[in-house]
Amino acid sequence: MEHVNRFIIQCGEAANRDELRVHLFSSSLSGSAFTWFISLPPNSVITWADLEKQFHKYFFCGVHEKKITDLVRLKQRNDESVESFVQRLRDVKNKCYSLVLDDRQLANLAFQGLLPHIRDK
């Protein structure tokens, strides 16, 4: 809610036009919010009301923030490729809204979650 309100205030006069709000909103996003936005199906957002509803639904209604413990517990499945495991790790990381990890820390978490025979190589 705070992000949307701040965005509207920053838009000034442009906030009065629904289509401009929809068009400009992506430029206010970063991290997991931007990842969410670019993953929306094409033509799933037509109006500002659509966009605001989907944003709140994803970030504030029933979607719980993940924690570092969720990342630490993440392990590669026996039938899972390394690429799929790393993508799953990234997806969980993107739901850790207040967690800041650098690339090295994230790579270390990924390495620790690999199957032992892959990690040993």
For the chain, domain boundaries: 2-60, 68-119
Given this model, what pLDDT does residue 63 score? 55
Q: What is the model's pTM?
A: 0.52
Between CA 109 and CA 8 the distance in angstroms is: 37
Given this model, what pLDDT does residue 85 score? 95
Between CA 78 and CA 104 the distance in angstroms is: 25
**Helices (H) then strands (E): counts for the chain:** 8, 0
pLDDT bracket for residue 22 (50, 70, 90): confident
Torsion angle in degrees (nearest 10) through CA of 116, 117, 119, 121: 160
